[in-house]
């Protein structure tokens, strides 16, 4: 019996040791790097199109994704970077929020790796990704803005609905306003959607951007109360006063329904809006939409602006920055990756070599046979280089409140923007 027991003990010890060796040996042999990535569901979808290719090319890297809503991502990232722990290795960040994280020194300096790509991306995207000559993020997708229009509504109002005719028809914003009245009369449709109280200010921002105006000028001075900005706001005011816009809060079921049911004739929106429309907002409206460049006020304005657009960055808390670089390079600076995302969701590449892909000139049944992507490719190169700056989120929230006071008739446009400027100066300590 004693002998049997001795053999049993030896056997158990052997098995245990074997397992330990196996386990640790296994993990020693296959030392995989795990990278954590924070992004939105939409961005994950874009990444998924080439994720397997990435794994094939980089067998030693494993990625753990955490999907977050934009608001949660930005707040959690802010707090984690401030705390010095809890941040992911890689994060997606919109250009509008990027400068803040650069400013707080939360993102890793990738200049050495990135500079060889500098001339291959939309130039204006670098404004928020760089600081003092160093690069902190790789541009991913851009948000060139154009005018989407409903062909059938314009036809009903008696206009020719092909893109060239519409572009001529809506040459200036005054033309746009006149046509808005006609459309409202003849079809009952609103020209576009702009909430009075709960607006997000983005339309106004686009209209400023195309005039090379912004919250701040190149010296950092607050310029939201510039006379031209006041004029622009008063222009929007005409639509509110004369009931030519749909008063619905953006990104709500009512707003989606307005687009789907043809209650609005146009959308002043970025390229990704098209993807949303045929993807899930109004997938049945095949053939009903078209795209033209924005109207302008004067010859010096550009017919586009930027709205949205993301970047990929490595945080300073990343322990394996070389592997992280491989990932963001693969997703952003690789033509195949960008084209795949473009094809899937109309995630418009910031990487210019992608524009030579045939998808750019493919006619789209949804947009009535128009090669609408080409419109954006032509427009993106004209976007004036304006930086969102690190104070964008706060400035935007202050502005939207003031726009609401103007839209609901509580203040004049000039007073509203003046108050916005004052508060922005107070909170951001800018001149």
Partner 1 sequence: MSIRAKIITYIILSILSIIMLLPLGWMIDSSFKGMDEIFHYPPTIVPAKPILSNYTDLFKQFPFGRNLFNSAYIAITYTLLAIFFCSLGGFSFAKYEFPGKEILFSILLGSMLIPFEVTMVPLYVMFRRIGWIDSHLGLVIPGVANAFGIFFMRQYAATIPNDLLDSARIDGCSEFRIFLQIIIPIIRPAMASLGIIFFMSSWNNFLWPLIVLKSPQMLTAPVALRSLQGALFTPYNLIMAGSVLTTLPLLVIFLILQRQFISGIVSGALKM
Partner 2 sequence: MTQNSINHFFKKYGAPYLFISPFYILFAVFMVYPVINSLYLSFHQWNGSTERIYVGWENYINLIHDGVFIQSLINCVIIFFEYVPIMTFFAVVLAYILNMGKLKLQSFFRTSIFIPYITPVIAVGFVFSLLLDRDYGLVNLLLGYLGIKPVEWLLTPTLARIAISVLVTWRWLGYNMIIMLAGLQSIPLELYDAAKVDGASGTQSFFRITLPLMRPIILFATVLSTIGTFSLFTEPLILTQGGGPMYSTLTPVLYLYSNAFQYLKFGYSSSIAYVYFIILFILTRFEWRYFGSQAV
Contacting partner 1 within 243-262 (CB under 8 A): 251, 253-254, 257
Whole-number Å distance between alpha carbons of 42 and 229: 33
| CA nearest neighbour of 343 among 278, 260, 269 | 278
Q: Which is nearer to partner 1, 25 or 86 (CB)?
A: 86
Does residue 374 bind partner 2 (CB under 8 A)? no
When binding is defined by CB under 8 A, the residue of 35, 50, 81, 285 that contacts partner 2 is 81
Q: Which is nearer to partner 1, 203 or 370 (CB)?
A: 203
Could you tell which of partner 2, partner 1, none binds residue 344, using a CB distance below 5 to 8 A set by kind? Answer: none
CA 297, 298, 302, 307: dihedral to nearest 10 degrees? -20
Q: Hey, CA dihedral for 257, 263, 266, 268, is it positive or negative?
A: negative
When binding is defined by CB under 8 A, the residue of 17, 24, 34, 82 that contacts partner 2 is 82
Provide the mask over 159-198, with x wherever binding to partner 1 is found by CB under 8 A and - wherever it is not.
----------------------------------------
Q: Which is nearer to partner 1, 253 or 358 (CB)?
A: 253
Contacting partner 2 within 188-227 (CB under 8 A): 195-198
Does residue 384 bind partner 1 (CB under 8 A)? no
Q: What is the DSSP string of 232-250?
A: HHHHHHHHHHTT-EE---T
77 SS3 class: helix
48 CB contacts (<8 Å, ≥6 apart)? none
Residue for token digits 């586009």? 304
CA distances to 52, 59, 402 from 56, rounded to whole Å, are 6, 6, 52
Whole-number Å distance between alpha carbons of 366 and 364: 5
State in angstroms the smallest separation of the CB of 327 from partner 1: 22
55 CB contacts (<8 Å, ≥6 apart)? 61, 62
Provide the mask over 76-115, with x wherever binding to partner 1 is found by CB under 8 A and - wherever it is not.
x---x--x--x-----------------------------
Determine the size of the site formed for partner 1 (CB under 8 A). 14
Contacting partner 2 within 103-142 (CB under 8 A): 104
Q: What is the CA radius of gyration of the chain?
A: 26
Task: Residue 319: count other Cβ atoms within 10 Å of its Cβ.
Answer: 10
**Strands of 110-265, DSSP E:** 130-131, 134-135, 138-139, 145-150, 192-193, 245-246
State in angstroms the smallest separation of the CB of 69 from partner 2: 13
Q: Which is nearer to partner 1, 310 or 370 (CB)?
A: 310
Q: Which is nearer to partner 2, 71 or 227 (CB)?
A: 71
Contacting partner 1 within 52-81 (CB under 8 A): 66, 69-72, 76, 80
3-state secondary structure 335-360: HHHHHHHHHHHCCCECEHHHHHCHHH
State in angstroms the smallest separation of the CB of 106 from partner 2: 9
State in angstroms the smallest separation of the CB of 42 from partner 1: 8
Q: Which stretch binds partner 2 (CB under 8 A): 47-55, 78-86, 302-310, 331-339?
A: 78-86
Does residue 78 bind partner 2 (CB under 8 A)? yes
Whole-number Å distance between alpha carbons of 347 and 143: 9
Could you tell which of partner 2, partner 1, none binds residue 197, using a CB distance below 5 to 8 A set by kind? Answer: partner 2
When binding is defined by CB under 8 A, the residue of 250, 254, 279, 353 that contacts partner 2 is 254
Angle at 58 between CA 55 and CA 60, to 5 degrees: 100
Q: Which residues bind partner 2 (CB under 8 A)?
A: 75, 78-79, 81-84, 104, 195-198, 248-249, 253-254, 257, 393-394, 397, 401, 404-405, 408, 410, 423, 426
Q: Which residues bind partner 1 (CB under 8 A)?
A: 66, 69-72, 76, 80, 83, 86, 251, 253-254, 257, 276
């Amino acid at each position: 019996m004693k002998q049997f027991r001795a053999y049993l003990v030896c056997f158990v010890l052997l098995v245990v040791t074997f397992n330990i060796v196996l386990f640790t040996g296994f993990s020693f042999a296959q030392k995989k790097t795990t990278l954590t990535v924070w992004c939105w569901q939409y961005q994950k979808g874009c990444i998924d199109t080439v994720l397997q290719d990435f794994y094939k090319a980089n067998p030693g890297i494993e990625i753990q994704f955490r999907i977050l809503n934009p608001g949660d991502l930005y707040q959690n990232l802010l707090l984690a970077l401030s705390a010095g722990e809890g941040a992911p290795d890689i994060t997606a960040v919109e250009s509008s929020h990027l400068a803040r994280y650069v400013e707080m020194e939360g993102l890793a300096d990738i200049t050495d790796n990135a500079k060889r790509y500098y001339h291959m991306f939309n130039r204006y995207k670098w404004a928020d990704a760089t600081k003092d000559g160093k690069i902190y993020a790789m541009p991913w997708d851009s948000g060139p803005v154009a005018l989407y229009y409903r062909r059938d509504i314009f036809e009903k109002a008696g206009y020719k609905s092909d893109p060239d005719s519409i572009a001529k028809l809506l040459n200036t914003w005054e033309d746009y306003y006149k046509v808005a009245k006609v459309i409202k009369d003849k079809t009952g449709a609103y020209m576009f959607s702009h909430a009075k109280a709960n607006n997000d200010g983005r339309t106004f921002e686009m209209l400023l951007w195309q005039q090379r105006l912004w919250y701040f000028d190149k010296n950092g001075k607050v310029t939201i109360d510039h006379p031209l900005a006041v004029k622009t706001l008063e222009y929007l005011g005409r639509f509110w006063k004369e009931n030519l816009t749909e008063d619905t809060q953006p990104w709500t079921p009512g707003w989606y329904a307005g687009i789907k049911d043809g209650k609005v004739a146009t959308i002043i929106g970025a390229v990704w809006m098209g993807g949303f429309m045929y993807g899930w907002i109004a997938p049945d409206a095949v053939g009903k939409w078209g795209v033209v460049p924005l109207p302008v006020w004067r010859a010096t304005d550009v017919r586009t602006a930027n709205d949205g657009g993301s970047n990929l960055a490595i945080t300073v808390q990343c322990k394996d920055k070389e592997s992280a670089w491989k990932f963001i390079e693969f997703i952003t600076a690789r033509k195949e990756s960008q084209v795949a995302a473009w094809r899937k969701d109309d995630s418009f590449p910031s990487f210019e070599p992608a524009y030579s892909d045939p998808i750019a000139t493919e006619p789209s049944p949804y947009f009535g046979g128009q090669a609408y992507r080409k419109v954006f490719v032509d427009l993106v190169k004209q976007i004036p280089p304006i930086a969102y700056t690190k104070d964008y989120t706060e400035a935007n929230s202050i502005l939207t409140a003031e726009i609401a006071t103007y839209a609901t008739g509580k203040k004049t446009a000039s007073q509203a923007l003046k108050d916005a400027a004052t508060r922005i100066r107070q909170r951001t300590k800018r001149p």
